[in-house]
Chains A and B, each alone.
Chain A
Amino acid sequence: MSASKPKLAMYWAASCGGCEIALANIDEVLLEVDHHFDFMFCPCLLDTKTKDIEALPDGDIFLTLFNGALRTEENKEMAELLRRKSKVFVAFGACAATGGIPALANQHGLQHLLDTVFLNAPSVENAARLIPQPICHVTDGELALPAFLPRVLAVHEAVSVDYTMPGCPPEPEQIIAVIRHVASGAPLPPLGTWLGCSSRAVCSECPREKRGVLAARLLRPYEGIPETGWCLVEQGFACLGPATRGGCHALCPTANMPCTGCYGALDATADPGASALTALAAAVDPGKLAGKGEEDLHRRIKHALSGVADPLGTFYRYSLAATVLAERKPEVEQ
């Protein structure tokens, strides 16, 4: 390890490890990373400990790629620690950016979550009804676990984030581009920029043909086999491409898989799920009234939209922590 090279750190909070795999997927460019950076902290790959980070002077790490949402106090502490120790702090991946899959837990209260996982799940046998506690007294003393935060947070809700790199996970070539840019010493973009993604929709990168037609109705995934080469939205599949940032080269739609929105909402000023909802609501053909009355129209549109069985899971799959209603106390429980 050379002291002269800028330090690079990567940390996982509430995440699956896919972001680390995405980093490993840059293959031989890892040698370039090693050439330019002192890759010194990454619990998935390296053995550096938290106390080693604590011992560093503030701002000593040049670049931190922080992936994962914030679920526990420990996640939050690590975000705060790494923020303090880093010059450039990047929220890396969909979970860090907008909550990702872990944030879907926010639709139920914390108690509901613990009850489900530790008491009510069909595969759980917990006769003593034990639920992990932050502090547990045993004969030899006290054991501590990090407590849950009341809700899953996106990283920017707890610490100031310099840049956001979306994706579940971010595409390796985008990681390479960002790392090469930083390594080149070229000026960094304005703070707050979303890196490694496009400001245009996934559709602009999608090779499927748009025929300019509206879908008769939205389909659930099992209800049809997509026609090769034809826009999934126009076929009625709930593809979020029109409302999602590009940068992934439309990987999923190219492989007949509707976009699920992992690169984040295209419209940064809108509620992410609401803009996805708008995009899909515009994809169906409301038809003509044809003198049949409002009831008939409503029945038809209801049927046309019934392919979205779970609006929240469809529209906020990666972004529930970022909804404008995130801070509000729920008044109805699902």
Chain B
Amino acid sequence: MSCQSYSTTHPTIPTNNVDAIAGVAVKVVAFLCNWCSYAGADKAGANQLPVPAELTAIRVMCSGRVEPTMILECFQKGADGVLVLACHPGDCHYKEGNLRAYCRAELLECLVPQLGVDPRRFRFDYVSAAEADRFSQITNEFVDQVRALAVRPFKN
């Protein structure tokens, strides 16, 4: 169950020519919840808010569906950063999927540096369907942060 197979079956923001445009080729995978952050991303697009081109969006039915294995596999396959955007607590379409995701994220934040990955490459946050501004702000912040981490030691 690789994240790559997901990125081919779901709408993604093309990143192939980022090198040519920006001279920086970071790749950030964003797992977006179908009910909130994906809609938030859509709205950000409709509102013409800036969204980094380095973002590869993967739509999932719930942030609780994002298994930690998928996040580690992203790093293994060369992602420079992984973002998980969930519904705000209390707003989960499935009642508590986002809280489950938060519990995992909490442990992952401690585990990821133990596995040798800079913890700044992983972020869990909340974006509702209405928060286009917040989506734009978080994604830009995160991609800037990842870009500042210069080297990409996980690239093959």
Contact A278 B73 (CB under 8 A): no
Contact A281 B104 (CB under 8 A): yes
Q: Does A223 contact B (CB under 8 A)?
A: no
Contact B76 A325 (CB under 8 A): yes
Contact A280 B107 (CB under 8 A): yes
* B113 CB contacts on chain A under 8 angstroms: 332, 334
* B60 CB contacts on chain A under 8 angstroms: none
Contact B104 A277 (CB under 8 A): yes
* A294 CB contacts on chain B under 8 angstroms: 88-89, 126
Q: Does B1 contact A (CB under 8 A)?
A: yes
* A297 CB contacts on chain B under 8 angstroms: 89, 99, 102
Nearest chain-B residue to A265 (Cβ)? B69
Q: How far is the CA of A319 from the CA of B100 in the complex (A)?
A: 24
Q: How far is the CA of A107 from the CA of B111 in the complex (A)?
A: 11
Q: Does A43 contact B (CB under 8 A)?
A: no
* B117 CB contacts on chain A under 8 angstroms: 325, 328, 330-332
* B14 CB contacts on chain A under 8 angstroms: none
Q: How far is the CA of A325 from the CA of B73 in the complex (A)?
A: 8
Contact B68 A271 (CB under 8 A): yes
Nearest chain-B residue to A334 (Cβ)? B114
The answer to whether A278 and B76 touch (CB under 8 A), given A325-B117, A329-B153, is no
Contact B107 A277 (CB under 8 A): yes
Q: Does B75 contact A (CB under 8 A)?
A: yes
Contact A107 B69 (CB under 8 A): no
Q: Does B141 contact A (CB under 8 A)?
A: no
Annotate B78-110 by CB proximity to A: 1 below 8 A, 0 otherwise: 000000000011100000100110111011101
Contact B114 A305 (CB under 8 A): no
Contact A270 B111 (CB under 8 A): no
Stretch at the interface among A15-23, A127-135, A308-316: A308-316
Q: How far is the CA of A319 from the CA of B115 in the complex (A)?
A: 12
Contact B111 A331 (CB under 8 A): no
* A330 CB contacts on chain B under 8 angstroms: 115-117, 153
Q: Does A246 contact B (CB under 8 A)?
A: no
Q: How far is the CA of A301 from the CA of B98 in the complex (A)?
A: 12
Q: Does B118 contact A (CB under 8 A)?
A: yes
* A241 CB contacts on chain B under 8 angstroms: none
Contact A274 B68 (CB under 8 A): yes
CB distance from A275 to the nearest CB of B (A): 7
Contact B154 A286 (CB under 8 A): no
Q: Does A289 contact B (CB under 8 A)?
A: yes
Q: How far is the CA of A325 from the CA of B70 in the complex (A)?
A: 12
Nearest chain-A residue to B104 (Cβ)? A281
Contact A323 B104 (CB under 8 A): no
Residue of B69, B89, B99 touching A275 (CB-CB under 8 A): B69
Residue of A107, A274, A305 touching B67 (CB-CB under 8 A): A274
Residue of B99, B103, B115 touching A323 (CB-CB under 8 A): B115
* B67 CB contacts on chain A under 8 angstroms: 270, 274-275, 278
Contact A301 B153 (CB under 8 A): no
Q: Does A220 contact B (CB under 8 A)?
A: no
Q: Does B72 contact A (CB under 8 A)?
A: yes
CB distance from A31 to the nearest CB of B (A): 45
Binding site for A on B (CB under 8 A): 1, 67-69, 71-73, 75-76, 88-90, 96, 99-100, 102-104, 106-108, 110-111, 113-119, 126, 151, 153-154
User: A-B pairs with the 8 shortest C-beta distances?
Assistant: A330-B116, A274-B68, A286-B99, A312-B114, A311-B111, A281-B103, A289-B90, A274-B69
A-B contact pairs, 21 of them (CB 8 A): A269-B69, A270-B67, A270-B69, A271-B73, A275-B67, A278-B67, A278-B68, A280-B107, A282-B100, A286-B99, A294-B126, A297-B102, A305-B106, A308-B110, A324-B76, A325-B75, A325-B115, A325-B117, A330-B115, A331-B153, A331-B154
